Chain A
Amino acid sequence: MTDSPPVPDGQRRDGPLVSGQDLHRRFGEGESAVDALRGVSLDIASGGLTAVMGPSGSGKSTLMHILAGLDRPTSGRVFIDGAEITAMDDNHLTRLRRTHIGFIFQFFNLLPMLNARENILIPLEIAGDKPDQAWVDEVVGKVGLQDRLTHRPSELSGGQQQRVAIARALVSRPKVIFADEPTGNLDSASSRDILDLLRDSVDSFGQTTVMVTHDPSAAAIADRILFLADGQIVRDQGRSDASTIVAAMAELGAA
């Protein structure tokens, strides 16, 4: 596939990196239909870490799937770096994923037959890009996996696997990384490490990151926290500590 940038340079604007406009998402039809999103609009600027929080069923995962181009909204539009992804066909979306989007999964989603180094490098291999060795070394150094690179996922702990996944997301220098409950499958010590790492990558590389989580201590590392309930953004606040977040959540739960 020839790689033309999904966003022509002329159209690049200084506006938000990720933008959602009046997003609705309905699952099912008729009486059993469920509205997961009910008019969500948001702008995410370049460079920070945004956490999306909310109780189960609040629509936070659906929102992220739609923002990342994994799912299409029933109505509304999504722009990444100025390009409307809700209008893109599969080929354009694929190219956008290669250049603009990194993804971190709850269950790591490493390929079991590849060792850590190979897993980190696959996005480049798939896109047919030559790895920039200095950058690869920097990323590997950042996630602290220098001596684990020849291990297969089955030989790594959960925390180590998630580090590999973070390195994989960083390696293609995406405009934005989406992290889906990145600590959801980890013990508390490993969770701490991973959150520190995410924070560090935002601080050192200016990596724009959007993280969905229901864990207040995870949201506490974010620069901005969006609270979702019943398919709508009910709160949008700046950096907060865990206890404030717990309180905010409790308030939502009571509401």
Chain B
Amino acid sequence: MRRIVLKGLAFRKTRAVLTALAVVLGVAMVSGTYVLTDTIKSAFDQIFQGSYKNTSAVISGREFVSESASGNATVPEPLLAKVRKLPGVAAATGQITGVAGAGDQVQLIGKDGKPLSKGGAPSLGFGIDPSLPQFNPLRLTAGTWAIGPGQVVIDKGTAGNEGFKVGDTVPVAADGPRESFRIVGIAKYGNVDSLGGATLAVFDIPTAQRLLRKEGRFDSISMSAKPGVSDQQLVREVRPLLPPSAKVSTGAAEANKASDDTQKFINFIQYFLLAFAVIALFVGSFVIFNTLSITIAQRAREFATMRMIGASRRQVLRSVLLEGFVIGLLASVTGLFLGLGLAKLLNAIFKALSLDLPQAGTVFATRTVVVSLLIGTIITVASSIVPAIRATRVPPIAAVREGSQVPPTRLSPYSGGFALLLVLASVVALVIGSFANGLSTALTLLLLGVGCLALFVGVALVAKRLVPPIVEVVGQPAERLGGAPGRLARDNAVRNPARTASTAAALMIGLALVTLVATLGAGLRSSDRNALEQQVRADYVVTSDNGFTQFPAAAVKELPAAPGVGVASAVFDDNAKAFGKSIRVDGVDPATIARTYNFQWSQGSDATLAALGPNGAIIKQDYANDRHLKVGDTFQVTTPSGRRPTFVVRGISKPPVFDKIDPLLGKVIVSQDTFSRFFERPKVLLAFITLDRGVSPQATARLKQALARFPDAKVQSKADWVDERVGGVNQLLNLLYVLLALSVIVSLFGMVNTLVLAVFERTRELGMLRAVGMTRRQVRRMIRQESVITALIGAALGLPLGLFLAALVTQALQDQGLGFSVPVGSLVAFTVVAVIAGLLAAILPARRASRLDVLQALQYE
């Protein structure tokens, strides 16, 4: 039997390949995801291992607050001298280092005057002592290390991208106005070719300390042990010397911790991409199911003959399953290797969307091979189970009857009811998942995920009955434009509604998901726009170049005095910790903020601002609810440098609901004076400006001029700022579209398959049509229109389904202020995409059909 199956596959190569393609892409996505994330992980690991290679122990400031703008606590410089005197220490050096999570940036400025780092990737600033190269994680590829003010070494990736050479001058901006530095060297981390979007600026220690306002401080002190002293012994020796804000650990522990931190981030990317691989595989399983069902119907006589010459049902079942297994395995192997290429493509996509990630040599792990092969094979075999069972139901007598059809299964009378039940059950699962309170996250995700998949399957099953009425509508243009071939195309589409439905269903899934994404995106944009417009009453808003990181306070310091400026009110911002959780704390100017920002008060009034005093705070209503805080209550926060001020609640604000999703100000607001007392090196997130005479091009130019020395500060009119902030979600949407396009391509293969098989099946009929005078061109048109009709069915099912899912999500997120908004333009675009998909899918089958030899086709048995 095995031989018969393999020979059969070889005999029907095109069909096998077309079937396999449906799985190849999904598997490639799985494999590509693993290759990409493993490669990124390896690049990070190389960075960290290299950084701590010769380091026995490291003293660093504690991380009191994660991801703070001012970075971790720092270490006092005099500690270095004490460390060097310890008996176990062979050598020690202080460092200013961007790697250990510090949020302070030293930006390299490009020729366009903008910071070079992209997409929120860090602009790392280093201060190192070149006389102790063993502690230096970097390797020079050209020039020398920086010695003295005015010298900088930059990373190889940035130098290559921007065409910087040793001897060039590059503007640098840290916590102050831009300054010019001479590039004296180019460096890189070990074998890491690209740091992704990050840039690297390396100075000598005093210069780095000055730029980052860390005079007299280090980020860390690295040391090596004398021979015979273990790393642990060294750690114990160092510990008594430390101030409370510092800690010491071995180099290895530090490297592992850094590696673990990136693992979380990489896992996120991995799961995110794998989700799309799963969607593509799910669509692929539809395509396989459909293709196999059709081929099995066409091979009914073959199976019957096998039965006649003694094959048992079980042998027929096994032969079809074996066929699925072989196709799945071949597809998986192909997908596995295609994944290597796809990893590069994914990286290019991330790059195009300014989400660069570091890269070193490609990593192809065993896990990648095992998972890819298993998942592709299992999905294919699972999708062939139902077709295989159908094959066993072909009675032997079909071998002697012409035009035998695969009989319906015993359960088919109940299939309609089952489909409706499935749709109903999945909707219930989705509703429970969306609205029920108190479910665990895992259960919620399970309900939503499984509910969504089940809904797709259910709709695909119900679709059989929806095909004829839908074709009534979407077949109109074909009939109007196509004449007789158009009408035939329409009739062909309803000839086997189950087949058309299941082909269209594959496309439906992709279209439903893009519709969901587009609709949610439109809802997010319009809700965000309303919320922002309500809150801000300034004419202009100053932000960092990327709009969401903090920038030097010095940039906006002199704005109030600039000509024409009425009020300029800056918002300081950093993270702190309160009630054990990280929380944003903002510092506002009580005298001016209310003239640029529209406070909605739950308790208090604009007058509360003036009465904040040295430890008064305004908190948001939800925070007050979450932590049971009332006006007059006190609470303690921990700042990144380890201070622990206690604030008194003086007022409670109630910003628009959508502020929960896109918070403009922090949950805790204090006065700028208070902020500056507890947070080191305060930075600004936003500055609101109102002008005496409103927005004008001249005023914009003047403000730009006033900020010219601060390349990271960007001034925009309120309208432009809102547009940009609201449009931030577009980058995410584009990424999702690209990833969902994969599923649409998979469904395209399904359409090609169905059409090729239909052409094969109708060989004699096509010969007849040609014999009675249909031209090749008309044959092509007929096939094309059938394909477009199928695609439009996919759209007719997918778009409403996507809207329904979006409405469900919107309802579930209503308490976050998310509104529902139908993106009409996008829906039209998706319909056009579906039509184009239909046209593309028809190219090969239409060509085949039109090239049939009339005489042979008529004799075809």
User: Could you tell me which A residues sit within 8 Å of B by CB distance?
Assistant: 1, 61, 65, 69-71, 90-91, 94, 97-98, 103, 105-107, 109, 111-114, 118, 122-123, 125-127, 168, 172, 180
Contacts and interface: CB of A to CB of B under 8 A. Distances in A.
Interface string B356-383: 0000000000000000000000000000
Given A113-B7, A126-B1, A107 B861 contact: yes
B738 interface: no
A113 B10 contact: yes
Contacts of A172: 310
A127 B400 contact: no
B132 interface: no
A106 B4 CA distance: 23
B628 interface: no
Contacts of A109: 301, 305, 308, 399
Given A70-B397, A109-B399, A113-B11, A94 B301 contact: no
- Give the residue among B7, B11, B312 with the most A Cβ atoms within 10 A: B312
B315 interface: yes
A43 to B, nearest CB: 24
Contact of B306 (A70, A105, A118, A126): A126
Contacts of B11: 112-113
Contact of B305 (A90, A94, A111, A125): A111
A105 B304 CA distance: 12
Nearest to B302: A111
Given A65-B400, A70-B400, A109-B399, A123 B310 contact: yes
Nearest to B315: A126
B308 A103 contact: yes
Nearest to B9: A113
B156 interface: no
B313 interface: yes
12 contacts: A65-B400, A70-B396, A90-B313, A94-B313, A97-B310, A103-B399, A109-B305, A113-B7, A113-B10, A113-B12, A123-B309, A126-B311
Interface string B383-411: 00000000000011101100000000000
- Give the residue among B7, B301, B307, B308 with the most A Cβ atoms within 10 A: B308
B111 interface: no
A93 to B, nearest CB: 8
B314 to A, nearest CB: 7
Contacts of A70: 308, 395-397, 400
Contact of A127 (B4, B301, B310): B310
Contact of B3 (A1, A65, A125): A125
Given A114-B4, A172-B310, 4 more contacts: A1-B315, A90-B313, A94-B310, A97-B307
Interface in B301-330: 301-302, 305-315
A69 B310 CA distance: 12
Q: Shortest 5 CB-CB distances between A and B: which pairs?
A: A113-B11, A98-B310, A70-B397, A109-B305, A94-B312
Nearest to B309: A123
A62 to B, nearest CB: 10
Contacts of A122: 4, 306, 309
Contacts of B645: none
B148 interface: no
B407 to A, nearest CB: 14
Contact of B309 (A91, A107, A112, A126): A126
Contacts of A180: 400
Contacts of A1: 312, 314-315
Contacts of A61: 400
B483 interface: no
A69 to B, nearest CB: 8
B8 interface: yes
A71 B397 CA distance: 7
- Give the residue among B10, B306, B310, B314 with the most A Cβ atoms within 10 A: B310
Interface of B: 1, 3-4, 7-8, 10-12, 301-302, 305-315, 395-397, 399-400, 861
Contacts of A125: 1, 3-4
A114 to B, nearest CB: 6
Contacts of B309: 97, 103, 122-123, 126, 168
Nearest to B12: A113
Given A71-B397, A111-B302, A126-B306, A91 B312 contact: yes
A107 B398 CA distance: 12
Nearest to B398: A70
A5 to B, nearest CB: 14
A118 to B, nearest CB: 7
Nearest to B397: A70
A81 B692 CA distance: 111
Nearest to B10: A113
Contact of B400 (A98, A105, A113, A114): A105
Contacts of B302: 111
- Give the residue among B11, B307, B396 with the most A Cβ atoms within 10 A: B396
A70 B400 CA distance: 9
A180 B399 CA distance: 11
Nearest to A114: B7
A126 B301 contact: no
Contacts of A65: 397, 400
B421 to A, nearest CB: 31
A106 B400 contact: yes
Nearest to A110: B305
A61 B314 CA distance: 28
A129 B621 CA distance: 82
Contacts of B397: 65, 70-71
Contacts of B301: 109
B713 to A, nearest CB: 72
A70 B395 CA distance: 8
A85 B469 CA distance: 47
Contacts of A71: 397
Contacts of B314: 1
A118 B2 CA distance: 13
B299 to A, nearest CB: 10
A94 B395 CA distance: 11
A8 to B, nearest CB: 20
A173 to B, nearest CB: 13
A127 B314 CA distance: 12
A136 to B, nearest CB: 15
B310 A126 contact: yes
- Give the residue among B11, B302, B311 with the most A Cβ atoms within 10 A: B311
A125 B11 CA distance: 19
A172 B311 CA distance: 13
Contacts of A118: 3-4, 7
A40 B307 CA distance: 27
Nearest to A172: B310
A177 to B, nearest CB: 12
B4 A105 contact: no
Nearest to B11: A113
A123 B1 CA distance: 10
- Give the residue among A61, A91, A109, A168 with the most B Cβ atoms within 10 A: A109
A152 to B, nearest CB: 9
A90 B315 CA distance: 13
Contacts of B315: 1, 126
A126 B395 CA distance: 17
Nearest to B6: A113
A61 to B, nearest CB: 8
Contacts of A113: 4, 7-8, 10-12
- Give the residue among B8, B11, B309 with the most A Cβ atoms within 10 A: B309
A41 B79 CA distance: 113
Nearest to A124: B310
Nearest to B2: A125
Contacts of A112: 11
Nearest to B400: A180
A95 to B, nearest CB: 8
Contacts of B395: 70
A14 to B, nearest CB: 26
B860 to A, nearest CB: 12
B7 A105 contact: no
A94 B307 contact: yes
